[in-house]
């Protein structure tokens, strides 16, 4: 992609045309034509799904879930491309056909609203971990993301972006509906509802919750060691000096309000 193309400003009209509407929800272009296949996507009882509205700390959560479920070493996670291990259902890469063939247990991510997820996930056996983040921080993160994303090249003001956010005019639709729908399902046996801020405030409790939800049995010492490893992952993201090679993408981490 030529530099000049990457810098091309997106006018409001151009920006609008990048989305499409599905049952009244604005979705990114790569979701077009695959929503029915997604609804019928074959789910397995051993699957673990991570679902978030974009910019809710998905990457951090996936690392913690990977560590808790696989007992992996955080330094190893730092060196591997974990995104390859946890595909996003609706993204063009690797695509639905590849995800269908992955060996169990699969860890799959998605930003789709609850009602658009594979219907077998609704009250099914596969585990679904949802994480919500304070919308005031999320919108700043989503704004920066839209400005840096080549395909979006968003050039409006933050105020205008906030208006879009409040009026459900961004990709993946209304944050409010997204969270509310999952909140209404938080008591379902296969759903775990988490908050991004709790991960920073009380990681040990979250690791305990995750271990219990994922059926990972561990004694007190193992839990402490897991929590210590998870702390390393959180610190690595917010502390440039602690970053192993290959985790420069974390340097955009900013101070967020953890009071909500």
Ligand X SMILES: CCc1ccc(OS(=O)(=O)O)cc1
* Active site positions, annotated: 111
**Which C-beta is closer to ligand A3P: that of 124 or that of 131?**
131
Does residue 258 interact with ligand A3P by CB under 6 A?
Answer: no
Q: Which of residues 135-174 bind ligand X (CB under 6 A)?
A: 145, 152, 171
**Which C-beta is closer to ligand A3P: that of 189 or that of 245?**
245
Does residue 28 interact with ligand X by CB under 6 A?
Answer: yes
Does residue 260 interact with ligand A3P by CB under 6 A?
Answer: no
Sign for the pseudo-dihedral over CA of 171, 96, 79, 207: positive
Does residue 250 interact with ligand A3P by CB under 6 A?
Answer: yes
**Which C-beta is closer to ligand A3P: that of 223 or that of 258?**
258
Does residue 56 interact with ligand A3P by CB under 6 A?
Answer: yes
Size of the site for ligand X (CB under 6 A): 8
Does residue 183 interact with ligand X by CB under 6 A?
Answer: no
User: Which entry of ligand X, ligand A3P, none binds 171, CB below 5 to 8 A by partner kind?
Assistant: ligand X
Q: What residues pair up with 22 in beta bridges, in sequence order?
A: 25
The contact set with ligand X (CB under 6 A) reads 28, 54-55, 58, 111, 145, 152, 171
The contact set with ligand A3P (CB under 6 A) reads 52, 54-60, 137, 141, 144, 233-234, 237, 250, 252-254, 256
């Amino acid at each position: 992609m030529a530099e000049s193309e990457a810098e091309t400003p997106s006018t409001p009209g151009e920006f609008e045309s990048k989305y499409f509407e599905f049952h009244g929800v604005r979705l990114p272009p790569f979701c077009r034509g695959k929503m029915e296949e997604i609804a019928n996507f074959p789910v397995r009882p051993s699957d673990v799904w991570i679902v978030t509205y974009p910019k809710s700390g998905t990457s951090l959560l996936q690392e913690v879930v990977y560590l808790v479920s696989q007992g992996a070493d955080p330094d190893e996670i730092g060196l591997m491309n974990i995104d390859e291990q946890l595909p996003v259902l609706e993204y063009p890469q690797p695509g639905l056909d590849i995800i269908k063939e992955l060996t169990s247990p699969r860890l799959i991510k998605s930003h789709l609203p609850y009602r658009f997820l594979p219907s077998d996930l609704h009250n099914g056996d596969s585990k679904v971990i949802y994480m919500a983040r304070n919308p005031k921080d999320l919108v700043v993160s989503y704004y920066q993301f839209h400005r840096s994303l080549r395909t979006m090249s968003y050039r409006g003001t933050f105020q205008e972006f906030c208006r879009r956010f409040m009026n459900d005019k961004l990709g993946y639709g209304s944050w409010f509906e997204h969270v509310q729908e999952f909140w209404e399902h938080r008591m379902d046996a296969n759903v775990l509802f988490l908050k991004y801020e709790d991960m920073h405030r009380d990681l040990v409790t979250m690791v305990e919750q995750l271990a219990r939800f994922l059926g990972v049995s561990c004694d007190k010492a193992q839990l402490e060691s897991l929590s210590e490893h998870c702390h390393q992952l959180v610190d690595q993201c917010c502390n440039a000096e602690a970053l192993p090679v290959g985790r420069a993408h974390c340097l955009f981490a900013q101070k967020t309000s953890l009071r909500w």
